[in-house]
Amino acid sequence: MVQISLSTSVFPPNTSPIPTFENNLTNKCLYSLKTLLITLGPFLLPRLLASYRSYRTKSTRTKSTPVRPLPSYLYRSLNILFLSTVLSLLSTLPYFAPENIFTLTASRIQTPNDVLFTRLALLRPNNTLTSLDHQLKPRIASLDARCLYLQYGPEVLTHCPFCLSDEPFSYFWYALPGILYPHILHFFALGAATSSAIARKEGSRWRNSAVLLGVGLAVADCWITGSRNWKANARALRSEDLDHFFWGRRVWRGVGFAVADVVFAGFMWVAGTNRWFVVPPTAGERMEGALKMLEGARGRMAALGIVRNVVVRDEGLRRRGEGYWRKEGAVMAEVLEEREVVEGIRGALGSGRISVSQVEEDAKRYAEGIVGPTDLMMQQPQQPQQG
C-alpha cells in the first residue's frame, strides 16, 4: 500500500501563509468569472444592450398602458419558478451533499491513508467502515487521487471503472453526466414556466432568454470544472486550507439556479402586470381586433334588421310602431310651435349662426357615407328632360 509522507522541509519556513478555503474558493470563482467575461463579453454585451434598448423603446411607446392585476395563468409559471427556487436552495444544504472525509475527519491531504480511514472508522456505527469506504480506500491512496477527489467528489472516485490518475481528464468525462443532470432539471423547470401552454404569450416571450441562460449556466459549469487546476490542493498544509471545489461548486450552482429563477419570475411579473417590458400589439393583431369589432357590429345590425322585419310583418307591432311615430310627430310639432323655439330659430337663421345650405350639405355627406353616393343618386327622382 502506498503511503503519503511529504517532508515539511520542501517548503521554506518563511513562506507566507496559504489562503484559507473561503479565500481560495472566492479567488477561483472570480478568476473564472473574469475569464468568461473577457471571452464572451464582446459577443454578449452588444446583444444585451440591443435587447435592453428595444424593450425600453417598446415600454416608452406604451406608457399609457394601465397597470393590471397579474393574469391567473401566470401564477402557474411563478409557482413553478418558486418551487424550482426552493429546491435549488435546499440542494445547497450540507445534508444533501455527499460526505467529505477530509472535512469529516479534519484531516490534511497528506494524512496517511491508514490514519485517515482509522479516524473515519471511529465515526462510523460500531467503529466499522462501510462497503463504500472499503471501495474508496485504495483509490485515494496517492496525492493525485486525493486532489481528484476534492475536484470531482467521492462518487466519481469510487465508481469510475476506466479512470486513472495518470489521465486526470478521464474523471471529467465520467463526471460530466452528473454535472449536467441538475442543469437538465433546471432547464425543464424554465421551459415549463415559459411554455405557451402554461404561461401563454406573456410567458413564452421569455423562452429564448431562458434557453440561452440554461445553456450558458451548463456550459459555464462544465468549463469551470474542466479548466480548473486539479492539483491546486497539493500544497495545502492544513485541512482548513483545502479547496473543496466539488462541494463549493454544488453550493454556487444551487444559488445560481435560484437567482435565475427569481430574475425570470420578476421579469414575468412586471411584464404581466404592464409595469415594464410592455409589448404593443402588432399590426396584424390590431387588424384582427378591428375585424372582430366590425363582425360584431355587422351581427348586431343583422339582428336589428330581423327585429325590424318582425315588427313590420306583425300587424299589432306595426300599429304600435305607427302610433309611436304619430305621437312623436305631434309632440315635436307642438314643441316647434312654442314661442321661445320659434324666436330662437328665427334668431339663429337671421344672425347667420346656422346656414341651411351647410346643414343640407352635411346631411348629404352623412347619407353618402352610409349608403354610398351611387345608391343615393339612384334613389333621387329623375328630372324630366326638356323637349
Across residues 210-217, what is the average pLDDT?
89
Q: What is the pLDDT of residue 21?
A: 44
Top pLDDT among 385 and 194 is at 194
| pTM listed for this prediction | 0.61
Top pLDDT among 243 and 286 is at 243
Which phi and psi angles does 167 have, rounded to 5°? -125, 80
Q: What is the pLDDT of residue 5?
A: 42
| pLDDT tens track for 92-149 | 998 888 888 888 888 888 889 899 888 988 888 888 888 888 888 888 888 888 889 9
Q: How far apart are CA 77 and CA 83, in angstroms?
A: 10
Q: Are 243 and 232 in contact (CB under 8 A)?
A: yes
Top mean pLDDT of 37-41, 220-224, 299-303, 332-336 is at: 220-224
Q: How far apart are CA 245 and CA 29, in angstroms?
A: 10
Top pLDDT among 14 and 65 is at 65
State yes or no: pLDDT of 378 exceeds 80: no
| pLDDT tens track for 42-68 | 777 777 777 777 666 655 555 556 777
State yes or no: pLDDT of 182 exceeds 90: yes
State yes or no: pLDDT of 10 exceeds 60: no
Lowest mean pLDDT among 234-243, 246-255, 354-363: 354-363
Q: What does the DSSP assignment read for 294-321?
A: HHHHHHHHHHHHHHHHHHHHSHHHHHHH
Which phi and psi angles does 176 have, rounded to 5°? -60, -45
Q: Is the dihedral of CA 146, 148, 149, 151 positive or negative?
A: positive
Q: What is the pLDDT of residue 12?
A: 37
Q: Are 308 and 321 in contact (CB under 8 A)?
A: no
Lowest mean pLDDT among 155-169, 239-253, 290-304, 347-361: 347-361
Q: What is the pLDDT of residue 185?
A: 93
> Pick from 225, 144, 139, 132: which is nearest to 182 by CA?
225
Across residues 165-189, what is the average pLDDT?
90
Across residues 344-355, what is the average pLDDT?
74
Top mean pLDDT of 63-67, 221-225, 287-291 is at: 221-225
Top pLDDT among 5 and 322 is at 322
Confidence of residue 27 (pLDDT cuts 50, 70, 90): low
Across residues 22-39, what is the average pLDDT?
64
Across residues 279-296, what is the average pLDDT?
79
State yes or no: pLDDT of 203 exceeds 90: no
Across residues 380-385, what is the average pLDDT?
52
Q: Is the dihedral of CA 356, 361, 366, 370 positive or negative?
A: positive
Top pLDDT among 278 and 257 is at 257
Across residues 206-227, what is the average pLDDT?
89
Residue ranges with strand state E in 233-287: none
Q: What is the pLDDT of residue 14?
A: 39
